[in-house]
Amino acid sequence: MSVNGESDLKPHCYPGRLFIVEGIDGSGKSTQVRLLQRYLQSEGYSVVFTEWNSAELVKATTKKGKKRRSLTPTTFSLLHATDFAHRLLSNILPPLKAGSIVLADRYVFTAFARDVVRGCHRDWVRKVYRFAPRPDVSFFFRVPMEVALRRITMARPALKDFEAGLDLNLHPDPYESFKIFQGAIQDEYAKMVDEYGLVVMDGRDNISDQQRRVRAIIDRGLAHYHRKPRIA
Work out the pLDDT band at 55, boundaries 50, 70, 90.
Answer: low
Work out the pLDDT band at 3, boundaries 50, 70, 90.
Answer: very low
> How far is residue 143's CA from residue 130's CA, in Å, rounded to a whole number?
28
Mean pLDDT of the chain: 90
Buried b (16+ CB within 10 A) or exposed e, 32-66: bbebbbebbeeeebbbbebebebbeebeebbeebe
Is residue 44 within 8 A of residue 100, CB to CB? The reply is: no
Q: Name the CA radius of gyration of the chain, rounded.
A: 18
Q: What is the pLDDT of residue 4?
A: 42
Q: What Å distances lie between residue 124 and 10, 48, 107, 116, 120, CA to CA?
A: 17, 30, 17, 9, 7
Domains of the chain, earliest start first: 14-221 (3.40.50.300)
Half-sphere exposure of 13 (CA within 13 A, CB side): 0
- Higher confidence at residue 29 or residue 229? 29
Whether the pLDDT of residue 122 is over 60: the answer is: yes
DSSP symbol at 148: H
Whether the pLDDT of residue 157 is over 90: the answer is: no
- Enumerate residues 6+ apart whose C-beta is below 8 A from 219: none
> How far is residue 72's CA from residue 7's CA, in Å, rounded to a whole number?
27
